[in-house]
A and B are shown apart, each in its own frame.
Chain A
Amino acid sequence: MELLLASGIGLLAAVGIFLMLRARTFDVVLGLTLLSYAVNLFIFATGRLSIGKAPLIAPGVEPSLSNYADPLPQALVLTAIVIGFAMTAVLLVLAVRGYADHGTDQVDAREPRA
């Protein structure tokens, strides 16, 4: 499971960075979205990977990460998702407005010379 998650995060981040380096706002928006997915998964993974464990402390069970799921990274991911969503919305508005104002979705509002 570690390999799957790690390579998933790596792939998402790589694709995100590749798209962000392209000179079109639409690609940049997609790239940032993919990068934020990678980051969210990464935060989630810092709570350690476990299946079927509750974050609630039960009496008689030693309170350590081997017995419980860590609830804090899940709360952080939730916050990060909400903020990332809002920022993507702002970026999309800007991208659309930029396209309307300049007639091009090139990030510097200049079409490269052919």
Chain B
Amino acid sequence: MMHLPALPILIPLLTGGLLIVLGKLPLAVHRLVAGLTVLAVLVVVLALASATVDGTVLAYVAGNWLSPFGIVLAVDRLTVVMLLVATLAVLACLSSATDGEDTRAPHFHALLCLQLAGLSGAFLTVDLFNLFVFFELLLISSYALLLHAGGGDRVTATTHYLVVNLVGSALFLIAVAMLYGVTGTLNLADLARRLPQLAATDLPLAESGLLLLLVVFGIKAAMAPLYFWLPGTYHAASTPVAALFAVFTKVGIYCIVRVFNTLSDTPEVLTVVARYLLPLGLITLVLGAIGVLAARDLRAMAASLIIVSSGTMLASLGFFASETTAAALYYLVHSTFAGATFFLVAGLVRLARGEHEDALNIGTPLLRAGFLGAMFFASAMTSAGLPPTSGFIAKLGLLASSADLAAGFWLWAVVLAGSLVALVAIARAGSLIFWRPLTADHLQLASLTPPLRNTTPIATLRASRGTTTAAVFLLVCGATLTIMAAPVQRYLTAAATALASPGAYIDAVLSAPRVERRP
């Protein structure tokens, strides 16, 4: 299968396009097609995983152009991890959307397929301009998904999100153009080869181009001070879409990891980027933790937790040491599952509590909230990073790998303080919503008002089976990550080691084989 690396883009692009053209088909067909698409991509990703597990880099020249002139797609272990995480998040979103979000307006599933195509493309491509194009593809479908079936506040939130990202796109184009202007290439591997040969007068231009790229990826990755779009956007999104958006900041993180590690043979690149990454990551973490503490409802808390996780990853990537990178990659997988679960559970709580939604107030007590409470507890433990969850292992790995590094102290101090703050805030939220003694008044109220009975947690969970399934599925994914921690960490360590010495990746991309035409 020579064309395997192109399939994660082509399959969802094709089915997404078909679903738009055949928009009048019954909803069940849409759901089926989208579900089959995601499963097909999952199978392709697993095939790619087995082909690259020994460290092989699969390179594919799109349109059979000679590398580095054409667009090259490349798959290594890091790409496989990202593709897998993104596909699982899309699957969870799809399952949650079947509760009724997809009935409110047409084309939800088509947009979801295009979203998956954009995500896959961003992870696969080695061409900077092509990366821009895939960013736009995933952004334009995310605008539509964010706005889906909503007016009013959602329009305002989408406008903010759109304007921020359009400015980001303009900066991206300027950065790409600057790099092309001085090096004459857009291929990342070719860029890595040409940057060290650059004349000393051109180097400052290349450096400013790279720093602009960091700004662009920082907007996507929610890096301080560029994350102010995130809380409002995620707060306005519907439950399935918010769960999907948990994977978005990871696209920015992936781009930072990929681009700057591939270019790391030019020492100037690392010193320029590392100077900003660690301090900005720590500032993001602190501000995110303050946001968690200040949140007035569960969705705002979940959004702030996403910012905290972004800050943690950015800070630990700033060391550019392969051990910390490996730990940050484990944290990345964990935080995608944890973030998405938190949004799904927040959505369920919001439905179950009726008029009080997910606000952190005393509100109506939840009667018979056993299962919902257990889901919240599990997701809260994971997000706060308490043992035995994957969050604990992820943080332990980060701290252990940075113990001997020069600036490791700062990471330890801020990560531990941030965890404590998050723990306090999440515990307070759980106590307010779930852990409340029932007084006789409450019971009487519950028996007197019939609408309250219909909104008991059990009824909510029965009515939103898709979201419940998605949340349980993601919790199981997190548990698997805990149980399989040793093999996963070995795999990610191998991926991070390959990132730290990108020679093999660069060679594979530059010598990508062309497909021979049969006579």
A interface residues (Cβ-Cβ under 8 A, vs B):
20, 25, 28, 32, 35-36, 39, 42-43, 45-46, 72-73, 76, 79-80, 83-84, 86-87, 90-91, 94-95, 97-98, 101-102, 107-109
Contact = CB atoms under 8 A, between A and B. Distances in A.
Contacts of B159: 25, 91, 94-95, 98, 107
A9 B190 CA distance: 29
Contacts of A43: 173, 176-177
B258 to A, nearest CB: 21
Nearest to A36: B170
Nearest to B130: A79
B173 A80 contact: yes
Which of A20, A90, A102 counts the most B-chain CB atoms under 10 A from its CB? A90
Interface string B151-179: 11101101110110011011001101110
A46 B163 contact: no
Contacts of B169: 83-84, 87
Interface of B: 129, 133, 136, 140, 143, 147, 151-153, 155-156, 158-160, 162-163, 166-167, 169-170, 173-174, 176-178, 180-181, 186
Top 6 closest A-B pairs, CB basis? A46-B181, A43-B177, A46-B177, A98-B155, A109-B156, A39-B173
B177 A76 contact: yes
A91 B140 CA distance: 11
Given A76-B129, A91-B159, 13 more contacts: A39-B177, A42-B177, A46-B178, A76-B180, A80-B173, A83-B169, A84-B169, A87-B136, A87-B162, A91-B162, A91-B166, A102-B156, A108-B156
Contact of B129 (A32, A79, A95): A79
7 contacts: A32-B163, A32-B166, A36-B166, A42-B173, A73-B177, A76-B177, A94-B155
Contact of A32 (B155, B160, B167, B181): B167
B92 to A, nearest CB: 26
A30 B462 CA distance: 49
A33 to B, nearest CB: 10
Contacts of A28: 163
A95 B251 CA distance: 27
Contact of A79 (B133, B151, B170): B133
Contacts of B163: 20, 28, 32, 91, 107
By DSSP majority rule, is chain A's interface helix, strand, loop, or mixed? helix
A94 B147 contact: yes
Given A80-B173, A90-B162, A91-B166, A46 B156 contact: no
Contacts of B155: 94, 97-98, 101-102, 109
Contacts of A35: 167, 170
Contacts of A109: 153, 155-156
A20 B140 contact: no
Nearest to A95: B159
A107 B133 contact: no
Contacts of A95: 159
A51 B132 CA distance: 29
Contacts of A108: 156
B143 A90 contact: yes
Contacts of B181: 45-46
A59 B162 CA distance: 48
Nearest to A96: B155
A87 B180 CA distance: 24
B186 to A, nearest CB: 8
B439 to A, nearest CB: 40
A39 B147 contact: no
Query: Which of B151, B153, B155 is the most central at the interface, judged by chain A CB atoms within 10 Å of its CB?
Result: B155
Contacts of B173: 39, 42-43, 80
A32 B152 CA distance: 23
Given A20-B167, A83-B133, A102-B152, A94 B177 contact: no
A32 B151 CA distance: 23
Nearest to B69: A72
Contacts of B151: 97, 101
B140 A107 contact: no
Nearest to B143: A90
Contacts of A76: 129, 176-177, 180
Contacts of A84: 169
A16 to B, nearest CB: 9
A94 B174 contact: no
A87 B177 contact: no
B160 A73 contact: no
A87 B140 contact: yes
Given A79-B129, A83-B136, A102-B152, A107 B160 contact: yes
A84 to B, nearest CB: 8
B156 A42 contact: no
